[in-house]
Amino acid sequence: MDVVGDISVLVVDDSDFFVEITSEKLNDAHGFTTDTASSGRDALESLREQRVDCVISDYKMPEMDGLELCTNVDSEFSIPFILLTGQGGEDVASDAIGTGVDDYLQKKKIIDGERLTLLATRIRNVVGQHRAQQKYERLVDNTPDEIVEVTTDGQILAANKSMARAHNTTRPELIDSQLTDVLPDEMASERLEYGQRAITAGSAVTFQDSIGVRHFHNIVTPLSETGDTNTIQFISREITQQKHDEQKLKETKRELEQSNEKLDQFASVVSHDLRNPLMVTKARVDFIRDDAPTAHVETMERNLERMETMIDELLTLARVGQSITDLSQVSLCAVAEDAWGHTQTDGGTLELDVSRDTVVGADYGRLLQIFENLFRNAFDHNDTPLTLRVGTLDDADETELSGFYLEDDGRGIPPEGRSKVLDHGYTTSDGGSGFGLSIVTDIVAAHDWDITIAEGQDGGARFEIRC
């Protein structure tokens, strides 16, 4: 294992010759920072004054042997410990492992080049593992997720601060307690069942559960075996707010669906109840056409046409109020050209000051209505042939459209009237419905855009829409 950064080592042995030679060679040949101690007591005093990354100690020493020193170092300092011994029996190795020694190496010929290189490698390995473990523990302690390690029968072996804090206790109090001591019995049993599934599958298993109003997303992972007992780790992330947001979204969606359904019903009623008498009246006008004065017939036809227009635009206005859920990347050029083809332009000209690759996230059908209504409005309020121009706003770019404009070279809209023309029912034309620009305003609002009116570069009206 590669270890980045300096490594400091304390060499402990009652042989002055051994500690001097070993520490000198570890320093010169392998780049370690070394210090020495001639006894276990000296080693502990040295560690209290200056911490090191690893302790290398002889096994046989007077007063305090290497295993006793390891126990003291582990309880007070918790740093890696490598034991060196001239006795290679199984009893010594077993005692070393049981005491918590991180590595075990025979002392014989340790000062030789090959053995010393092996020792240096062992030092790097145990220090690297220790540093990685410390980083992991810091990560675990700092995460808001609740993390706990348990046996398959529910005994808690380890827990992080978030786990203890969430259950109003401390980590020492959690250790060796049962999962049922901190969780409801049914919930604890269910989590252990998922733990058993993870062990059987040999991989992580995810699931969700809840305590009262608190909801959790859990990941249970099988860990390496300790003795004959399998252990499992639970990582539980609270998702209460997410669940609340999901429920709120469902309710909002249901409300929108109900609202849209009512709008559809309204449109159906308007279409049926207003169009039928309108068609009957049109037929009556045709019936009296030859007997009534021409001026009266023309007035009735003009009013009937205006009523039909108002009905059409009222229906459009009602449907505009429905929520927009079908957004796509729409070509600004394509939708402008389509709208131009649907509009009576009376010899007008359309200029596109925009790249054909420029797109906007919009509902195509409603964006088409914006252009159709703005085109129609321009021709309705000007008697001469017009040139209409569509382009992007100055702060827009080719990849992310921030806004677009439509302007004409007609007589324009006076500043004092620019805010009024966007109001429902406002019109300056005897034949206008007053809803054309209202439809534009509502579609813009439904997309969460903004619309303003300014003077065009040729004096006409300029409608700017910011996305």
pLDDT tens column, 106-121? 887 676 667 888 899 9
Same-domain pairing of 388 and 461: yes
Give the pLDDT score at 422.
Answer: 78
The pair of structure tokens assigned to 257 is 């669906």
Residue 356 lies in a domain: yes
Out of 95-104, 354-363, 389-398, the most confident range is 354-363
Mean pLDDT of the chain: 84
Give the pLDDT score at 113.
Answer: 66
Residue 170 lies in a domain: yes
Q: What is the mean pLDDT of residues 361-380?
A: 87
Domain that holds residue 226: 143-238
Q: Are 250 and 213 in contact (CB under 8 A)?
A: no
CATH of the domain at 114: 3.40.50.2300
Residue 108 lies in a domain: yes
Indicate the residue among 196, 211, 238 that finishes a domain: 238
Q: Sign (positive/negative) of CA torsion 358, 360, 363, 365?
A: negative
Indicate the residue among 238, 256, 288 that finishes a domain: 238
Give the pLDDT score at 420.
Answer: 79
Give the pLDDT score at 178.
Answer: 95
Residue 89 lies in a domain: yes
Q: Are 54 and 147 in contact (CB under 8 A)?
A: no
CATH of the domain at 401: 3.30.565.10
**Please, which pLDDT band fits residue 149 given cuts at 50, 70 and 90?**
very high
Which residue in this structure is represented by tokens 């209460």?
240
What is the count of structural domains for the chain?
4
Out of 3-7, 294-298, 324-328, the most confident range is 294-298
Which residue in this structure is represented by tokens 């229906």?
315
Residue 216 lies in a domain: yes
Out of 46-50, 281-285, 376-380, the most confident range is 46-50
Give the pLDDT score at 78.
Answer: 87
Can you state the angle between helices 294-320 and 240-288, rounded to 10 degrees?
Answer: 170
Conformational region of residue 100, where left means phi above 0, alpha means psi within -120 to 50, and beta covers everything else: left
Conformational region of residue 332, where left means phi above 0, alpha means psi within -120 to 50, and beta covers everything else: alpha
**Please, which pLDDT band fits residue 58 given cuts at 50, 70 and 90?**
very high
| Higher local confidence (pLDDT), 426 or 166 | 166
Same-domain pairing of 177 and 47: no
Same-domain pairing of 340 and 457: yes
Residue type for position 411: R
pTM (2 d.p.)? 0.44
Residue 181 lies in a domain: yes
**Please, which pLDDT band fits residue 465 given cuts at 50, 70 and 90?**
very high
Residue 2 lies in a domain: no
Give the pLDDT score at 397.
Answer: 52
Distance CA 244, CA 318 (A): 31
- Among 195, 213, 212, which residue's Cα sits nearest to residue 204? 195
Residue type for position 321: G
pLDDT in tens, 298-338: 878 877 876 776 677 666 666 655 556 668 899 999 999 99
Q: What is the mean pLDDT of residues 446-466?
A: 91
**Please, which pLDDT band fits residue 400 given cuts at 50, 70 and 90?**
low
Contacts within 8 Å (CB) and 24+ apart, 423-431 = 424/317, 428/381, 429/380, 429/381, 431/302, 431/305, 431/306, 431/309, 431/380
Beta bridge partners of 209: 216
Same-domain pairing of 56 and 108: yes
Contacts within 8 Å (CB) and 24+ apart, 106-114 = 107/18, 107/58, 107/59, 110/22, 110/84, 111/18, 111/21, 111/22, 111/25, 113/29
Helix (H) or strand (E) holding 26: helix 16-30
Distance CA 26, CA 56 (A): 11
Same-domain pairing of 128 and 158: no
Give the pLDDT score at 11.
Answer: 96
The answer on pLDDT for 53 being more than 90 is yes
| Higher local confidence (pLDDT), 330 or 139 | 330
Residue 1 lies in a domain: no
Same-domain pairing of 116 and 28: yes
Q: In terms of residues, how long is the chain?
A: 467
Which residue in this structure is represented by tokens 């410990």?
81
pLDDT in tens, 173-231: 998 999 999 999 999 999 999 999 999 998 999 999 998 889 999 999 998 654 455 89
Q: Are 358 and 335 in contact (CB under 8 A)?
A: no
Same-domain pairing of 188 and 105: no
Beta bridge partners of 83: 57, 104
pLDDT in tens, 61-98: 998 999 999 999 988 998 999 998 876 555 666 677 67
Instruction: For the chain, give percent helix, strand, coil, nearest 5.
Output: 50, 20, 30
